[in-house]
Amino acid sequence: MGWYAALAQAHPITSAMAQFAVLGTLGEAAAKWIRARRLYAPFGLRTAALKALAWMALAVCIKYAFTGFVAFVEGLSAHGLLPRLGPFGEAFAVSLATNLQFGPFLVITHRLMDNAIEGRSSWGGLDKALLSLLWFWVPAHTVTFMLPADFRVGLAAVWSLALGLILGFFNRR
C-alpha cells in the first residue's frame, strides 16, 4: 500500500481523476448489468468516454471538498464551535458536513452531466439520489474519513462502484 500512498501524494488530482474515471464508470455499467441481469455494453464507446470524463471532473471537486471539509470541522473545533469528538466523532462530523453541504451540489451536477451526455432531461429519481447522501454516503464517508488522507479519495471511488452495485440490485427488472 506504500506505492498507492506515494502515488496519491505525488499526484493527488490526477490519481483521483483516474480512480473515479474507472470505478465510477464501472459502477454505472454494473448497475445496468445487474438491472438487466446480463453482461452487455450498456453504452457505446463515446458515451463511456464522456461518462469517464464526467467522473474525472467530479473527482477534482471531491478531492478539494474532502480537504476543505476536514479543515472546516477542524476549524470549528479550534474555535470552540464544535467539541473535540475523537477519531470516530470527527470522521462522522466531516462526513455529515461534506454530504449535507457539498453532497446536493455533487448529486445535481452529476445529473446535469448525465443529462448532457445522454441528450435528455431526466430528473426522475433525484429525490432518491439525494436521500442516498443520508443512508449511504454519510456512513460510507464516516469510514472514509477515519483513514489517512492519502487513502480517502480511493475509498470514495470504491464506494461509487459499491453504490452502483447496490442500486442495480434494488432496481432489477
Confidence category of residue 113, pLDDT binned at 50, 70, 90? very high
Q: What is the DSSP letter of 109?
A: H
- Residue 173 confidence (pLDDT): 63
Which cell numbers in the block locate residue 74? 477542524
For 40-86, what is each residue's pLDDT tens digit?
999 999 999 999 999 999 999 999 999 999 999 999 999 999 999 99
From its phi and psi, is residue 120 left (phi > 0), alpha (psi between -120 and 50) or beta? beta
**pLDDT of 109 strictly over 90:** yes
Give the helix ranges, DSSP H, for 37-85: 45-78
For 120-161, what is each residue's pLDDT tens digit?
999 999 999 999 999 999 999 999 999 999 999 999 999 999
**pLDDT of 172 strictly over 90:** no
- Residue 144 confidence (pLDDT): 98
